[in-house]
């Protein structure tokens, strides 16, 4: 599968997640280029940009992964931590955000879809400890 290029898509949180936009689709764009992963073919990397109007996320994330004939696996890494406090206020901290893991399948020649998940963890932001809740959901992209 050739994954290189620009893709547009959406992701959604599962309904049990503790975030203000449960079941709201978040649009994003990802630009992908093929690269080697420890000498294996099928490696790729890219830049992921969420639509900030719906997500509040203004910083881009890096993605790194591997694609096979019909499947792909990748990790999304934001350079800063973000989330919502107990009052629903969005916060951003200087530490890297926890890794978000994606897996997916080729659905049609130019459409991929799958699931994502993040584990529960904690980050200190401006001297205060925050919980980053575990979460999961669905995602899909179409080549532009």
Q: Which domains does the chain have, with CATH numbers?
A: 5-143 (2.40.128.120)
Q: Per-residue pLDDT tens, the chain, 144 aa: give them.
A: 678 999 999 999 887 666 555 667 899 999 999 887 666 678 999 999 999 998 889 999 999 999 988 899 999 999 999 988 888 888 999 999 999 999 999 887 789 999 999 999 999 998 999 888 888 999 999 999
Give φ, ψ of 53 to 5 degrees: -60, -30
With CA atoms as reference, report the closest residue to 61 among 105, 100, 88, 95: 100
pTM: 0.90
């Amino acid at each position: 599968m050739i994954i290189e290029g620009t893709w547009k898509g959406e992701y959604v949180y599962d309904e049990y997640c503790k975030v203000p936009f449960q079941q709201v689709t978040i649009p994003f764009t990802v630009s992908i280029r093929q690269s080697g992963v420890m000498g294996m073919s099928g490696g790729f990397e890219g830049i992921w940009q969420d639509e900030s109007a719906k997500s509040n996320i203004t910083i881009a994330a890096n993605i790194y992964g591997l694609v096979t004939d019909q499947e792909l696996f990748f990790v999304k890494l934001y350079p800063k931590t973000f989330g919502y406090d107990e009052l629903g206020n969005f916060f951003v901290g200087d530490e890297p955000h926890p890794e978000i893991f994606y897996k997916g399948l080729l659905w049609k020649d130019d459409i991929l879809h799958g699931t994502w998940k993040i584990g529960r963890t904690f980050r200190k932001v401006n001297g205060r400890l925050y919980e980053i809740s575990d979460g999961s959901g669905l995602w899909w992209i179409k080549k532009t």
